[in-house]
A = this chain, B = another copy of it.
Amino acid sequence: MNDTPPLQIAIVGAASCTGDEELTAEEVGRQIAQAGAVLICGGRGGVMEAACRGATGAGGIAVGILPGGMEEANPFCTVTIPTGLGIARNAVVVSAAGAVIAVGGAYGTLSEIAMALKLGCPVFGIQTWKIPGVVACMDAGEAVARAVSTAGRDTGNVPKSGESQ
């Protein structure tokens, strides 16, 4: 039984990414697991796959929340949630996180950053969209440390049911 709900941190980024972004994402996943938190992501390739590989390689839990079916999942997810919701699954990814770390990314990532900020969920960015409210970080270490610190201090960042949007 949990005295407190599990700390959950999301990584968002593109399914197609650079080698540098992949290295960063894998390190983010590893450090989230080492901090005892659950990794939440979109479950697909690129940044998501690298983060899952890092998290599960370090003995952690990686959750992939997919837009379509199970066949979209990368092979490093501990749990897959094939939602069938299409792009609306982006809302579920950020709703499930106490903090979000954005690595690079394109329009899908931007939508996740925007919805996280709308929900009052803190967003830490590494070489990503420059949007007011996103806390720019130098590297994986800084982003995870700040995300864990913030999400752990305040588990109230997830959407409350019935909150007006």
Chain A residues at the B interface, C-beta cutoff of 8 Å: 1-3, 5-6, 8, 38, 53, 56, 61, 63, 65, 67-73, 75-92, 95-96, 106-108, 110-111, 114-115, 117-119, 131, 133, 155, 158-165
Is the beta-carbon distance between B8 and A80 smaller than 8 angstroms?
yes
**Would A96 and B80 be within 8 Å (CB), given that A75-B2, A159-B86, A165-B108 are in contact?**
yes
Given contacts A84-B86, A86-B91, A110-B111, 5 further A-B contacts (CB under 8 A): A5-B80, A69-B95, A71-B160, A92-B92, A107-B133
Tell me the number of copies of this protein: 4
Q: How far is the CA of A67 from the CA of B5 in the complex (A)?
A: 16
In the bound complex, how far is the Cα of B158 from the Cα of A72, in angstroms?
Answer: 11
Contact A82–B96 (Cβ < 8 Å): yes
Is the beta-carbon distance between A82 and B108 smaller than 8 angstroms?
A: no
